[in-house]
Amino acid sequence: MMQIDPKSAEASLAEIDAVIARLKQSTYYRGASTIIVAWGVLVAVGYLLNQWIPRQAGFVWLAVNALGLLATIVIGSRQQRANRKFDWRIVIAILLAFGFGLICSSLGHFGARELNIFWPALFMFGYALAGLWLGLAFTALGVGVALLAFVGYLFVDTWFDIYLAVVNGGGLILAGLWMRRA
């Protein structure tokens, strides 16, 4: 019979724990990937519409956010039907972020350009924080997109909305696609 000493047994159990940790992270990434891609597409469309019909910005973003929330709920329900766990606190977190965002943006009296940078910065801060617990890909996404958006705020003038469509929408789409393969 095969002999296994306590050190080797401990190493094997540690190996199992490491695999389970990687599996959990992969499950978070895969569960979030479709939602992140959906938000990426919606946000990109929102910025593109903002560029062409800036006067309708309020209506455009109301529609984008409502559709995003609806997409999150539909994707979450589908995941649950497929016997995969979906954490409904994500929906509450999005609503809380909207609530805090509305308060801050009202108090701050931001102009259109500042509002364009404020909302991505707020949501990317959420991604960056969540990543500390769920997987560093979320943190990289949050910090990367927020920094690029801020660079655009400082240096991009006329095509700022197009720039944000690429950086914010594109960043979310790329990150979501990467997470699907994790």
Nearest approach, Cβ of residue 143 and another protein (Å): 23
Residue span binding another protein (CB under 8 A) among the ranges 4-12, 46-54, 68-76, 125-133: 4-12
- Counting runs of H as helices and runs of E as strands, what totals does the chain give? 7, 0
CB 163 within 8 A of CB 132: no
Q: Give the C-alpha distances (Å, rounded to integers) separating 91 from 65, 79, 88, 96.
A: 12, 14, 6, 9
- Selected from 55, 58, 83, 107, the binder of another protein by CB under 8 A is 83
Give whichever of 15 and 114 is closer to another protein, judged by the CB atom: 15
Residue span binding another protein (CB under 8 A) among the ranges 9-17, 67-75, 103-111, 123-131: 9-17
77 lies in the binding site for another protein (CB under 8 A): no
End-to-end CA distance of the chain: 38
Nearest approach, Cβ of residue 137 and another protein (Å): 12
Exposure class string for 36-49: b at 16+ Cβ within 10 A, else e? bbbbbbbbbbbbbb
- How far is it, in rounded angstroms, from Cα 146 to Cα 4? 51
Give whichever of 5 and 157 is closer to another protein, judged by the CB atom: 5
Binding residues with another protein: total (CB under 8 A): 23
Residue span binding another protein (CB under 8 A) among the ranges 6-14, 45-53, 89-97, 124-132: 6-14
Give the tokens for residue 128.
Answer: 């960056």
- How far is it, in rounded angstroms, from Cα 29 to Cα 25? 6
78 lies in the binding site for another protein (CB under 8 A): no
Q: Which residues would be at the binding site for another protein (CB under 8 A)?
A: 1-2, 4-6, 9-10, 12-13, 15-16, 19-20, 22-23, 26-27, 82-85, 181-182
